[in-house]
Each structure stands twice: as C-alpha cells, then as structure tokens.
C-alpha cells in the first residue's frame, strides 16, 4: 500500500490545499500531512494548531474520513462507509 504525502505550509488550509488533498485521495486511501513550522503560530509548541487543522479538514471532508495526529503530522484515512 502506498501512502500519499503532502505538506501544510504558512498559508494554512486554502482551496488549493484542499484541491491537492482531494487529488491525493483519488490515488491513495491514506495521506500523511506534515504541518510545517511556518504553519504553526506557536512554533515548536504548536500542538493545538495541528489539532485545529485536523478538525478543520475533517469538517471539510465529512464522515467518511478520519484523522490521527502523530507529532506534527496528521494521518488522514478514507473509508468506504461513514464513521461515527
């Protein structure tokens, strides 16, 4: 299984980022999103910023997607059926 990779930069979650993420999910079921230091307002202590980005992406993509935060990386997975 190949896992897609994408980086979230200082612009944050924009329409272009979502478009790129949708294209990644067309090819892969799992995508790792690295949240760069420039995207975190708090710098090294930006765990809450990563959590905020994760929640924001889950609202956009809906119930068929889940997210797990590992360090400063968000691992999103696409499921066939909606999750609770």
The reported pLDDT for the residue numbered 72 is 94
**pTM (2 decimals)?**
0.90
**Average confidence score pLDDT of the chain:** 91
| Top-level class of domain 4-78 | alpha beta
Residue corresponding to tokens 């420039």 = 38
Q: Which two tokens stand for residue 36?
A: 């760069």
Q: Which two tokens stand for residue 49?
A: 């910023």
Element (H, E) at 30: strand 30-35
Quickly state the pLDDT bin for 76 (edges 50, 70, 90).
very high
Number of H helices and E strands in the chain, helices first, is 2, 4
| CA pair distance 41, 81, nearest whole angstrom | 35
Of 22, 21, 29, 23, nearest in space to 2 by CA: 29
């Amino acid at each position: 299984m190949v896992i897609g990779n994408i980086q979230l930069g200082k612009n944050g979650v924009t329409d272009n980022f979502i478009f790129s993420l949708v294209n990644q999910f067309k090819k892969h079921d799992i995508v790792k999103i690295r949240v760069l230091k420039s995207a975190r307002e708090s710098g090294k202590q930006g765990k809450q910023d990563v959590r905020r980005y994760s929640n924001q992406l889950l609202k956009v993509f809906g119930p068929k997607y889940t997210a797990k935060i590992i360090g400063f990386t968000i691992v999103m997975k696409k499921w066939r059926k909606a999750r609770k």
